[in-house]
Structure 1
Amino acid sequence: MELSNAVMKTMRAQGHGRIVYNSSILGFAAMRWRGAYNASKFAMEGLCDTLRQELHGTDIHVSLVEPGPIESRFRPNALAKFLKNVDIDGSVHRDNYQQQLERLRKEGHAAPFTLPATAVAEAVWRAVTNRRPRARYRVTFPTKLFWFLRRVLPQRWYDGACRAAT
């Protein structure tokens, strides 16, 4: 937020600019055991939508990149924090947490349709270079699928799809 505020002054002075936020599929599709991460990404999406509306009529464009599963160090980093901060054995969610540990420890792709980080870089490039950038760039098949499901399914069914994905 501070960086956005700082660069907006320059962008206003020069009369144009691009602000691109990197969100996640979890910015619109809440999934179990990821509450803090879900909340931070939902907040980012709301902030981005607000900025885009507030900057309407200027030549400052705001876009969101919404990746799904991407090759990265995300799982090993999440595993380290999980082990440090979660009392697995003392939790009523112990069995579910054990499943999460298995997922986080898995070698290779943890999810189908995982793409390389270059897929995100390409979306950022399009957001920065397109004459009329889109509000959202959904990266990976799961992101596009869950965006569609959110629009067409009743909430109970959508919740079930999100539970099944975790």
Structure 2
Amino acid sequence: MRSILITGCSTGIGYHAAQVLKAKGWRVMATCRNEDDCARLRTQGFDSFRLDYEDPASIETAFEHAMTLTGGTLDALYNNGAYAIPAAVEDLPVAALRQNFEANFFGWHDLTRRVIPVMRAQGHGHIVQCSSVLGLVAMPWRGSYNATKFALEGLTDTLRREMRGTGIKIISIEPGPITSDFRLNARKAFDRWIDWENSPRAEQYRTKLVPRLYDANKTPDRFELDAGAVTDKLIKALDSHRPRAHYYVTTPTWIAAIARRLLPTSWIDAIFAKV
């Protein structure tokens, strides 16, 4: 039985991956930020315990618990949990950006560093990072999330090159729009951190960003896929002895990857300024 530790399993991408891999015979350790979500997953037969990337103590405790459950081995780590703070960059408090990096970047690095010695000792392992199309191209109103994912892409590419010859495979998955609670979580962060009514861009918030965040009847994005599209790429990566470095999910990710290679920066600015 292969073992995998997955973060961000309360809903969406992480939850779907946990369900599918469990059905395929993996020992899935499905972690969540909140204990209530862990309790719900335990009723579904998962090994589930709390791991909050913003809480270093919870990362340490979760890792130690995972090692106890598996007898000190781990075949795969799937770093997944993340959230956005939608806002114009000029309205983004420094404290908000720091906290977002803790959740989307530093916590991932902490957990990954704990896993690497285990995989190095056993001579194999897969570390999969759920990045984003926003780690390839930057879009307006998403500065905090863009920044964390660009940082993650750089760190992951470096790690992949450093791990050559160790038996540890480092993989990035870059989804575009996926059906999930991502917008709901972004709205909570927006409410907490952004004083948009006193921004010089207040009218843009009122007419563009706020309706997008709060429209309960919002239709899915044109190219939106369900979480299964991400899980499909995850399984391909986990089942491969020579996985690809990057797995793109959704048409927008492919478009972004091609555009940044072929188009002048001024063209990309003009295209994505309208998104």
Identical aligned residues as a percent = 45
Q: CA deviation at 1:110?
A: 4.3
Report the TM-score, using the length of structure 1 for normalisation.
0.94
Matching residue's letter, 2:212: R
Please name the residue that 1:44 is paired with. 152
Q: Distance in 2 between matches of 1:96 and 1:61?
A: 44
Please name the residue that 1:101 is paired with. 210
Q: Structure 1's 109 and 25: CA in aligned 2 closer, same or farther, altered over 3 A?
A: farther
Alignment of 1:11-160 (within 5 A): 11-98=119-206, 99-106=208-215, 107-160=217-270
Please name the residue that 2:63 is paired with. none
Runs ≥4 residues deviating over 6 A = none
Q: Distance in 1 between matches of 2:115 and 2:189?
A: 32
Matching residue's letter, 2:209: Q
- Structure 1 unaligned runs (5+)? none
State the secondary structure of the residue aligned to 1:61.
strand
Q: Deviations over 1:140-164 (max 9, x none)?
A: 0001111111111000001111112
- Given that 1:67 and 1:140 are in contact with CA atoms closer than 8 Å, whether structure 2 keeps it comes out as yes
State the secondary structure of the residue aligned to 2:267.
helix
Matching residue's letter, 1:14: Q
Q: CA deviation at 1:108?
A: 4.3
CA RMSD of aligned residues (A): 1.2
Q: Distance in 2 between matches of 1:13 and 1:2?
A: 18
Matching residue's letter, 1:137: Y
Please name the residue that 2:7 is paired with. none
Q: Deviations over 1:63-107 (max 9, x none)?
A: 001010000001111112212221111101112222111112232
State the secondary structure of the residue aligned to 1:53.
helix
- Given that 1:71 and 1:109 are in contact with CA atoms closer than 8 Å, whether structure 2 keeps it comes out as no
Q: Distance in 1 between matches of 2:220 and 2:212?
A: 6
Report the TM-score, using the length of structure 2 for normalisation.
0.58
Q: Distance in 1 between matches of 2:198 and 2:234?
A: 42
